[in-house]
Structure 1
Amino acid sequence: MPAIEFLTREDMEQFKNELLTELRRLGVHPGKKPEFKEWLKSYEVRKLLGISPGTLQTLRINGTLPYTKIGGLMYYKHEDIRKLLESNYRQ
């Protein structure tokens, strides 16, 4: 028959501190609102909005969604995406 082990308050406190230390090391901060990246790449915007590459291209061409091109990559401000969503909000 296995021996019964009891957890003490000190054991739980030590576990909590080790867990929080590991989460912070991984970049996770419990209780803190997630921060958004200021600039998103095309694939991130498509995933966020659930749109195809062609639709994203149309939004660029007609000026609906501003962007910045550096080399072959296009970047979009998170704030511009938020504004686009709010401007199309219907109640």
Structure 2
Amino acid sequence: MSEYITKDDLRQFGLVMMNDFRKIIEDSKKDQNNKLTLEWLKSRVVRKLLDISAGSLQNLRVTGKIRFKKVLGSYYYNRVDIMNLFNEK
């Protein structure tokens, strides 16, 4: 039994591919817009940026003013939260 590919099959395949490409491009644009959201800074960098002590940084962490993650004993802080601190002042 032989199957033939028609022009309509190729046209439909092309439309599906174009939709997939559009979706990939839209997703990559969203990723670029969220790039800052995904950036995390080490404690040392944050203390230098804000010109604060380790205790002051701990206070910001404890009060929930900045998000953080602890990885293998080191703290990392969200860049967007740091930038928002600058905007508040």
Q: TM-score, normalised by structure 2?
A: 0.54
After TM superposition, where is structure 1 displaced by more than 4 Å over at least 4 residues in a row? none
The residue aligned with 1:55 is 56
CA distance in 1, matches of 2:39, 2:81: 10
* Partner deviation per Cα, 1:35-87 (whole Å, 9 max, x = no partner): x892110000000000000000000011111101111011011111011221x
CA RMSD of aligned residues (A): 1.8
The residue aligned with 1:39 is 40
Aligned residue type for 1:59:
L
Work out the number of aligned pairs and report it: 53
Structure 2 residue runs without a partner (length 5+):
1-35
Give the percent of matched residue pairs that are identical in Structure 1 and Structure 2. Answer: 47
Q: Is the 8 A contact 2:67 2:77 kept in 1?
A: yes
Q: TM-score, normalised by structure 1?
A: 0.53
- Is residue 85 of structure 2 the alignment partner of residue 73 of structure 1? no
Structure 1 residue runs without a partner (length 5+):
1-35
Which is bigger in relative contact order (C-alpha 8 A, separation at least 6)? Answer: 2
